[in-house]
Amino acid sequence: MRHRRNRRGRRGRSPGRRRWRPRHWRPGASCRAAWRAAKALGYRRLITYTQDGESGASLRGAGWHVIASRPPRAGWHTPSRPRAGHGNDHVPRLLWEAL
């Protein structure tokens, strides 16, 4: 009988198995850790943005709240600072705050 580990599927994973995650992994853990670190440094507010179409589930799970909706930017290019677009221009955003 062949061992299951020898029957590799795509990307070297065994068929039917989930991707390995550390035992202590929880959704939103890195968001919570970022807020704890910022508070320890004396910050009173921590914000981040998500693009329209992203769920923000990990932020919501870590206790963050949407505080504003931002309109799409025309881009970062200005005559005094020429910039190339990276595909994230003209996308509405949500502003999140850690509580």
1 lies in some domain? no
What's the confidence (pLDDT) of residue 67?
95
Question: Is the pLDDT assigned to residue 96 strictly greater than 70?
Answer: yes
Strand order in the sheet with 47-51: 47-51, 93-98, 64-70
Distance of CA 39 to the CA centre of its chain: 20
Q: What is the pLDDT of residues 41-95, one digit of tens each?
A: 999 998 999 998 899 988 888 889 999 999 998 888 888 988 888 777 888 999 9
3 lies in some domain? no
Query: By the 8 A CB rule, do 51 and 90 touch?
Result: no
Question: Is the pLDDT assigned to residue 16 strictly greater than 80?
Answer: no
Assign 35 a pLDDT band (cuts: 50, 70, 90): confident
Amino acid found at 17: R
What stretches of 1-99 adopt beta strand conformation (E)? Answer: 47-51, 64-70, 93-98
Range of the domain at 39: 26-75+91-99
18 lies in some domain? no
Assign 12 a pLDDT band (cuts: 50, 70, 90): low
